Structure formats: C-alpha cells, structure tokens
C-alpha cells in the first residue's frame, strides 16, 4: 500500500457482472466470453479513471488448470485471474481482509465490492467493505460516461480555433484598430 490515501479500492467480480449486465450477456452469447471481458475492462477503465478508484477486476480460473495471473491495464486498473480451484469470491474476501487494517489506519478511504452475490455481500461487509450490486455499478458506469461526454462537449464548445474568440471584447477592438492602422 502506498503511504498516500487512496480514495477507494474497487473489487469487481468479473463473471458475476458479465452475467448480470444485459449488454455484456448479449456480447458473451454472441461473440464469446473473451469479448465480454474486453467490454467490461473497457467500461471499467474509463470509470476508474474518472472516479480515481484503484480497480481490480477478478475472474475465476477455478475450472481451468492455470496459475493465477495479474494483468495491469492502467495505473488504476488491473485484471486478476485466480488460481486453479480458487473462486473470485475467495480472492475478493482475502483482499478485503488484507485491506481492513488500511481502512482503520485511514490509508484507504473505502473498499467497494461489486457483485450481485448475496453471500459475498454479507461477507465483505463483515470486513468493512461497501457493497455495490451489478445493477448499481452499471448505473454508475453509465452515469459516469454521460458526465464524461458532457464535460468533453462543454470543453469543445468553449474552445474555438481562433485566438480572437479567447480574448475580451476590448482587446479585440484594440487589435482591430491596430490592424487598420488607427492610433
């Protein structure tokens, strides 16, 4: 843990979210699990950057004979595949348990777990983490995307290609006079 205070750590139960978001389910059914994972990662990359959350998306590897794997996507987003035989729930519980002292020491302001698994919700709350349902996360991600678009549109509208539009009317008048050779 870095000595500075993190605004929040967000742990996302990847396959639970894919199974709960209609757009990701549709992608999974049409294009496969890899495509749905990619869409989730893309959505969470923007969301994490906008919110400033350190986000970990956790995927089960319990039925695949592979060792755990961590992939760093951005400074704030990473993907974790669990060990063979380990569920995403178990991984998330261990992370919550390890972060609990950092919450009490005020090194992490919040730990949030995104899943619609009711048993998982109760377990992580016992570690002091907050719970966010898959539907709530979907709503927050969509609202964040809308806010990002609005900010972009406002910046785009406020900036013009011409310097003259960035200066006040009095300065513009004086420049016009200079251009015409007036004193």
Q: Average pLDDT of 19-33?
A: 93
Q: How confident is the model at residue 2 (pLDDT cuts 50, 70, 90)?
A: very low
Least confident of 48-57, 78-87, 96-105, 114-123: 96-105
Taking alpha carbons only, the member of 161, 57, 55, 164 closest to residue 111 is 55
Burial (CB count within 10 angstroms: exposed 0-12, middle 13-18, buried 19+), residue 122: exposed
Taking alpha carbons only, the member of 16, 8, 18 closest to residue 119 is 16
């Amino acid at each position: 843990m870095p000595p500075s205070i993190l605004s929040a750590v967000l742990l996302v139960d990847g396959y639970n979210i894919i199974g709960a978001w209609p757009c990701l389910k549709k992608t999974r059914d049409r294009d496969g699990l890899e495509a749905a994972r990619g869409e989730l990662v893309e959505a969470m990359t923007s969301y994490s950057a906008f919110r400033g959350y350190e986000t970990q998306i956790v995927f089960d590897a319990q039925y695949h004979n592979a060792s755990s794997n961590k992939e760093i996507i951005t400074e704030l987003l990473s993907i974790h595949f669990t060990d063979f035989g380990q569920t995403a729930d178990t991984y998330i519980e261990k992370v919550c348990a390890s972060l609990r002292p950092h919450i009490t020491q005020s090194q992490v302001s919040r730990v949030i777990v995104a899943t619609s698994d009711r048993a998982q919700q109760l377990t992580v709350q016992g570690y002091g983490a907050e719970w966010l349902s898959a539907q709530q996360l979907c709503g927050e991600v969509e609202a964040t995307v809308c806010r990002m678009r609005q900010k972009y549109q406002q910046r785009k509208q406020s900036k013009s290609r011409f310097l003259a539009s960035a200066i006040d009317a009095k300065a513009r008048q004086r420049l016009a006079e200079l251009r015409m050779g007036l004193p």
